[in-house]
Amino acid sequence: MLIGAGFFWKLVRDGQISLGNGMACLQNTCLGWIISGDFQNNISGGKNSKTICNFAMDLDVQHQLQKFWQWEEPGLTKNENLSSEEVMCEHLFVSTTSRGEHGRFVVTIPLKDSIDKLGYSKQMALQRLFSLERRFQKSESLRKQYGEYMAEYERVGHMTKTSDFQEDEVSFFLPHHGVIKEDSSTTKLKVVYDGSAQSSSGVSINDLQYVRPKIQDNLLSILLRFGQNKVARWQNNI
């Protein structure tokens, strides 16, 4: 930041700390503490010592923001870091994703194996439903919230009622249950769909799908980086 001398002195506050002879000085200002003064590079020593100043000449804000987004973008950017399954999953997503007539994105389920491996799942889903209804009998509030949630889900077109199901068709009945989060400021209830529930063949719908690469770093990498510096800063981005 370049500030003219006419305005600079209006920012200065009481408070100054000297770091010693031939070293910088800390000055308190309305913008916080600033540092200024002599700089002597005695770390490396010798004739090869260099003092480097880095600055940006590009005044195109849009270009600067684009570079920032690229630097901050999580995940892997090179296919050589992906497994063969992750590469195939990315390819299926790019090649099959489209946009419907109402503006919604349509994404094909990335199946890595034949759906014929799915067994009978209706009985399993019914047992889950009966268990859920027993919870409703104990809590009228849960029953009401759950009903409103599923009615809204149907109203916006996320699910539709079917009446032409044939027992000999390959299908998967997706069980679901409710999770209550009392500290939520909006919806206390969240309906969770269990794609890992096994059919009679021991195979679930999740077992037949490719898994996309992880966006976040693994825990070991985070811990190793955490120990590299004397001072670590924690930041909550939620």
pLDDT at position 93 is: 84
pLDDT at position 57 is: 53
Task: Return the beta strands (E) in 49-113 as ranges.
Answer: 98-99, 105-106
- Rounded CA separation 24/34 (Å): 10
b/e per residue 45-68 (b: at least 16 CB within 10 A): eeeeeeeeeeeeeeeeeeeeeeee
What percent of the chain is predicted at pLDDT more than 70?
A: 74
Mean pLDDT of 29-40: 79
Mean pLDDT of 65-69: 66
Long-range contacts of 27-32 (CB under 8 A, 24+ apart): none
Query: Which residue, 156, 153, 210, 203, is CA-closest to 176?
Result: 153
Is the pLDDT confidence value at 172 over 70?
yes
Q: At what angle do helices 122-138 and 140-155 cross, to 10 degrees?
A: 130
pLDDT at position 163 is: 76
- Rounded CA separation 172/115 (Å): 9
Lowest mean pLDDT among 103-107, 146-150, 211-215: 211-215
- Rounded CA separation 101/139 (Å): 41
CA distances, 72 to each of 66, 77, 82, 97, 215 (Å): 10, 12, 19, 25, 12
Is the pLDDT confidence value at 157 over 90?
no
pLDDT-derived band of residue 76, with 50, 70 and 90 as boundaries?
very low
Contact yes or no for 12/29 (Cβ under 8 A)? yes
- Rounded CA separation 129/143 (Å): 12
pLDDT at position 18 is: 87
Query: Which residue, 163, 160, 174, 94, is CA-closest to 129?
Result: 174
* pTM confidence score: 0.52
Is the pLDDT confidence value at 72 over 70?
no
Contact yes or no for 88/94 (Cβ under 8 A)? no
